Amino acid sequence: MSINRNISQSKKDNKNILREIFQDSAEIDYSTFINFALYNKDYGFYSNKKRMLMADFITSPLTHKSFGIMVAKQIAQIWDYYKNPKHFSVIELGGSTGKLKDDIVSYIKKYNRKFYRSLIYLNIDATNNDSLLDIDFNSKYGCIISNEFFDALPFDRFQKRGGSLKEIFIKKNEKNDLVEVLRDSNKTNILEQKIIAKIPEESRIEITNNLKEICNKLSSFLDHCVMLTIDYGFEDLDHLLINNPNGLVRCFAGHNMDKDILSNIGNKDITCDVNFHFLDHYLESAGFKKIGFCLQEKFLQNMGIANYFNSTKNPIEKQQIVSLMNPDGLGGFKVYFHELCSKNFDPQGLNQ
């Protein structure tokens, strides 16, 4: 199969981009392509420091500080659960420029000085040149938090053809257009044959690259740890793999959405719904146990956002808080709790 796509970019950039992308191989998988398009130091979407914050999409920490405050209250409960250890590490995955960190730390500093003195905060982000899999860190107690980290990880793409799942690779044709080719692949081990059999012919699916290695790495950071994961996505394999023939890929540029990953390289965010079934599988294999999950709307309610809302007089801020709760938007995100080795923690965010 081959699909032609034009790349709308300056000719010079385009030539350089294609030369770099294909410098080691004439054919590359999607995760290599996406990794370049998002994180290449010269051309990557996330590496472009000139891009205005919030120009392409908005996330919960950027929407209003009450989000960070509610997460801070949840973290304080984890510190209490571990009986207020002298050293407590918060490891944030993909914290970007540190907005969530600032809101969490300011809240803890103001309202819980004892906790503040024990707090160690690590914001691990690819755009700060952090390489998650190479980080060597270990501490006894803490938590791992993330907002929209797993949806930003590069993924590979597959298509059902002739009864089996083939991997989609990308190459250049003689006109310098990018074309796709299907090849046999050994990257679909996580899928049982009975699931593959249910995927309709020609349907496309995505599988996050390196998820197993990432989950194993996360389990090495802390001896006792609760993990709080906030993101969009699904657990239901029928939804993720069977009922969406074009897959769940989306690209965002200037608040517009399209599904064409191969065009305008480096100028748009590329994302897909998190497969919470796979994430849970790899976290469990790495020693985490799932406590449960709820929607962000419910989590924020449980953490007391209504009090914050009522104490705020500013109508713009009130509107921003409402956006965090909107079930058709950020409020519909999933908030997952896992705990390393046991599942005794009873998060306030899940129950009220």
Ligand X SMILES: C[S@@+](CC[C@H](N)C(=O)[O-])C[C@H]1O[C@@H](n2cnc3c(N)ncnc32)[C@H](O)[C@@H]1O
| C-alpha closest to that of 275 among 187, 339, 352, 205 | 205
Given the complex with ligand X, which of 153 and 199 has the nearer CB atom? 153
Shortest distance, CB of residue 250 to ligand X, whole angstroms? 12
Residues binding ligand X: number (CB under 6 A)? 18
Shortest distance, CB of residue 31 to ligand X, whole angstroms? 11
Count of beta carbons in the 10 Å neighbourhood of residue 114: 11
Count of beta carbons in the 10 Å neighbourhood of residue 24: 8
The amino acid that residue 256 corresponds to is N
* Euclidean distance between CA atoms 279 and 286, whole angstroms: 11
Shortest distance, CB of residue 238 to ligand X, whole angstroms? 26
Site string for ligand X, 215-254 (x = CB under 6 A): ----------------------------------------
Of the listed pieces 1-9, 14-22, 93-101, 317-325, which binds ligand X according to CB under 6 A?
A: 93-101
Given the complex with ligand X, which of 84 and 210 has the nearer CB atom? 210
∠ CA 348-218-351, rounded to 5°: 10
> SS3 string of 276-293?
HHHHHHHHHHCCEEEEEE
* Euclidean distance between CA atoms 126 and 131, whole angstroms: 6
DSSP E strands, 236-332: 249-253, 256-258, 269-272, 274-275, 288-295
Beta strands 274-275 and 233-234: pairing type? parallel
Given the complex with ligand X, which of 59 and 84 has the nearer CB atom? 59
User: Does the footprint of ligand X cover residue 56 (CB under 6 A)?
Assistant: no
Q: Which of 34, 90, 124, 145 binds ligand X (CB under 6 A)?
A: 124
The amino acid that residue 311 corresponds to is S
Tabulate helix, strand, coil % of the chain (nearest 5): 35, 25, 35
Shortest distance, CB of residue 109 to ligand X, whole angstroms? 21
Shortest distance, CB of residue 146 to ligand X, whole angstroms? 7
Given the complex with ligand X, which of 145 and 195 has the nearer CB atom? 145
Q: Print burial letters for 169-198: b (CB count within 10 Å at least 16), e (below 16).
A: bbeeeeeeebbbebeebeebeebeeebbee
* Euclidean distance between CA atoms 83 and 26, whole angstroms: 56
Given the complex with ligand X, which of 142 and 154 has the nearer CB atom? 154
* Euclidean distance between CA atoms 264 and 253, whole angstroms: 10
Q: Print burial letters for 287-318: b (CB count within 10 Å at least 16), e (below 16).
A: bbbbbebbbbbbbbbbbebeebbeeeeeeeee
Of the listed pieces 89-97, 220-228, 238-246, 329-337, which binds ligand X according to CB under 6 A?
A: 89-97
Given the complex with ligand X, which of 151 and 180 has the nearer CB atom? 151
Site string for ligand X, 128-167 (x = CB under 6 A): --x-x--------------xxx--xx--------------
Given the complex with ligand X, which of 122 and 170 has the nearer CB atom? 122
Of the listed pieces 110-118, 121-129, 183-191, 251-259, which binds ligand X according to CB under 6 A?
A: 121-129
Of the listed pieces 68-76, 127-135, 176-184, 260-268, which binds ligand X according to CB under 6 A?
A: 127-135
User: Does the footprint of ligand X cover residue 95 (CB under 6 A)?
Assistant: yes
Q: Which of 46, 221, 293, 333 binds ligand X (CB under 6 A)?
A: 46
Interacting residues with ligand X (CB under 6 A): 46, 59, 61-62, 94-96, 124-127, 130, 132, 147-149, 152-153
